Amino acid sequence: MNRAFVLGNGRSRLGLDLNSLRTAGKIFGCNALYRDFSPDVLIATDPGITQEIERSGYPEHHEFFTRKPGCPSSKLITKNHGYSSGPIAITYAAMEGFKKIYMIGFDLVGIKNKHNNVYSGTPNYKNVNTDATYYGNWVNQIFNVAREFDTAEFIRIGDNNQYWPDLWNRHNIKKQTIDEFLSEVYTV
């Protein structure tokens, strides 16, 4: 199996059985995902959520990368250090040589111009009624990772109506619906 799943925290991933992915490939996750699910590798860049993760003791038993490790078990992000958590998680999947990297919960835009995150309104996250986060950096960072790791295939999972940036119209960034994804992952 040469595939990885990178879990962002956009609402499009709700309803997906994350545990079912464990036997299908390696799982990289971002930020507060650890509250509900333990991926194989967790990435966090913002100080608030990083401190929460470290205070919880999570890095003592799980692989965790951050910009400024505050405990001995945490690891320093060494590649694309200035990027956001999701693009760094994608980077680390690509660095490990995975040829198919599925990006799940990478919604990019808000819902009705409001914050689109599974953890909206919880500690270290914006309120659900806050304006949507600017997504341009994510678009550019993911494009740069796909360009650098040109032989890997980056597949964003979502519905057909989801925003798709023009910059991503290149040979190794693709989109797939949830149904197509489930069919492919559980039949290959």
User: Contact, 1 vs 24, CB < 8 A?
Assistant: yes
Stretch 108-136: mean pLDDT: 88
Q: At what angle do helices 136-148 and 85-95 cross, to 10 degrees?
A: 10
pLDDT at 186 over 80: no
The pLDDT of residue 1 is: 59
Stretch 18-35: mean pLDDT: 96
User: Contact, 119 vs 32, CB < 8 A?
Assistant: yes
Stretch 8-34: mean pLDDT: 94
CB atoms within 10 A of CB 147: 11
- The Cα 82–Cα 84 span in angstroms is 7
Question: Which two structure tokens, joined as six digits, stand for 171?
Answer: 């040979």
pLDDT at 188 over 70: no
The pLDDT of residue 115 is: 82
- Picking from 53, 57, 56, 55, the residue whose alpha carbon sits closest to that of residue 65 is 53
CB atoms within 10 A of CB 14: 9
Choose between 123 and 109: higher pLDDT.
123
Say what the pTM is.
0.95
The pLDDT of residue 113 is: 81
Question: Which two structure tokens, joined as six digits, stand for 156?
Answer: 């964003």
